[in-house]
Structure 1
Amino acid sequence: MQTESNEAVTLKDRTLDPQSWVSKHADYLFSYALTRLNDEDMARDLVQETFLSALESANKFEGRSTERTWLTSILKFKVIDVYRKNSAGFTKRGDHDVDKEEDRDFFDAHDGHWNDQHRPKEFGIEQPDLLETKEFQKILQLCMKKLPILWLSVFTMKHMDEEATEIICRELKVSASNFWVIIHRTKVNLRSCLQKNWI
């Protein structure tokens, strides 16, 4: 059932209240998009698009989730669309295929273990509460901005959204082997960046 935009939309036991979306959910949705895209303007645009899409499909809201969860799921698909669009050219070029020369810089060719100069160091932030500090989060976001868009897309879908590997491969059109190469290289690059900028 859809009503005029200035009235709440009542479905089952849940109510949609579009008039309060900005005050109740905009900051949360913006933060969600920003941590996945590292682009403030795009995050703002996607939040606005999310609200518009939600208004257009309000009659599809079944009340099985909260209003925020429903809005977040709409935004999540919009973020995936951005990933797909931005990574399309990247996957066609094959820039993320395994590069053995680059891997030899980090790993011993004979046993696959870290080379001494690239062996991970202690971060000094092993206490879980320290991971939540604003300074660390700021540095992590700066390090993530340096990643190629496909790497960022794969990493955030896997480790922030906890998507299944098969879904990520299908949505971003990457093979399973390339997926693992991307995850590996992303972790190596993030660790290296954090060691340079945090320690």
Structure 2
Amino acid sequence: MNHSATPFAQAAFHPALVENNPVGALSWGDLIEHRAYLVRFAQRKLHDPMLAEDLVHDVFEAVVTGRASFGGRSALRSWLTAVLKNKIVDLVRQRAACDSYDDQADDEHPEAGVAAIECPHARPDEVAEHREFLQRTLARIDQLPAGLRDVMHLRVLQDQSTEDVCEQLAISEENLFVRLHRARKQLVS
């Protein structure tokens, strides 16, 4: 395979870098033969062919400059893939740190940026509303006729299996589903 024919090989591996190669036992052929695999791997993770090429170039640059050194404790492809994974993680972290909520706000609508950083949890007043709604719903379940109330308590509130509820109430599965449907219909209306 002629690696010098590809634009990547011409741009990435300048002869001056080859002379100063601190890799030692690794030849450029050893590295280059894994390039296509590494690019495909990076493309699957990043969904960006150009970025994948850049990261593979960064991996080879790290090897050439000695920032990453192969110890021979694993297969070369595995080691290069691990270095690439670390480069991908670094990129993701770097991009996450650059995301700014200020971009969402402008001078005319400064509250837009604030809305983006609101707490995802319910506010205390929303929690109180949910609790009140739950209490009302439980009270309405308790007011249902006995057959409907029992299936709601056992199947929905206690989360017992269909088989167990049918056995306890001595009813068929079809009858259980009919009762659940009727109970829900009465709760909604």
Is this a same-fold pair by TM over 0.5? no
TM-score of the superposed pair, with normalisation by structure 1: 0.38
Larger radius of gyration: 2
Q: Bigger relative contact order, structure 1 or 2, given CA contacts below 8 A and separation 6+?
A: 1
